[in-house]
Structure 1
Amino acid sequence: MNILKKLCYLFVISAFTMTIISCSNDEDDELVVVEPEMTPSQVLSSTPWETTHAKNQNGQSVSLTDSNVINFVGFAYFKTDGTFTMYNLDNSPKMYGDWSVSADGSTRTIVAKDTNGNVLFTRVVKITVLTKQEFTYRIYPDANNQSIYYDIIHTPTNHPEP
């Protein structure tokens, strides 16, 4: 009988322990991570970008050395202060100046400057994709013929700014 009592006590203690262990608040066990919503400008300045692809109006891949797209190929660094620098894929300097993105994320404007700060040109392009994984804009070789265009596709890079 003494052994039976000990087994009963052991059973009760085990059951009590299991009840305490299993009674956890399920809400505390779940971790929900919500990324803060970013503005289009914040997305563009959140990472360096590398031109990785180009496509024509038919969705066909175009070589990055093609004469229609080669001037748009390289590494781009859009800084939060509204300035940018761009380099060719061989790390040679391409241009620098000021940049902005429209509040709705539909266009990006760059104002390229010379070493004295004089404006060389202003370019406004239509953004077709702007996410943390891709930045794509559209160029038209002939502004009067928008049936022919090239999409310049960029992806994030860890390439350090030269």
Structure 2
Amino acid sequence: MICPTSPVGPLGADAADGAITDLVWGQGGSLTEGPLHRQIADEMTAYFAGDLTVFKTAVAPRGSAFQHRFYAALRAIPYGETRTYGELAKALGVSAQAIGQACGANPIAIIIPCHRVLAADGLGGYSGAGGIEAKVVLLRLEGAGGLLI
């Protein structure tokens, strides 16, 4: 378990080759010890305490070339800020629907911050455990989306 008492519930992680491959909601995951475990556990604790705005832990999400471009765009959204599905779609030259699907397929939510992506007229969805309520918790933690929550 990398973060047993987060405000969005217990979090674990899976890893391969020195990088996080999945954030596991509600259970421990396969990463249970070692330097990578200590690093991500410390970063998660600092993030939820409001003391960390950028994760440094290496990540290796699975996905297509487009998804990797999308994950890089998500990681470029600063802490406390949001973007709309449409803004990301325009920047990446794809449809807003493709952005929504890529958000839903993000295996490393929070660290790759898909919670920072909003619909033009509201919060949009969230695929992390707890759904939209978890998204609201994360946005509030970061002080983002103030007019929406």
Q: Calculate the TM-score normalised by the size of structure 2.
A: 0.25
Q: Which has the higher helix share?
A: 2
Q: Which has the higher strand share?
A: 1
Structure with max Cα Rg: 1
Q: Calculate the TM-score normalised by the size of structure 1.
A: 0.24
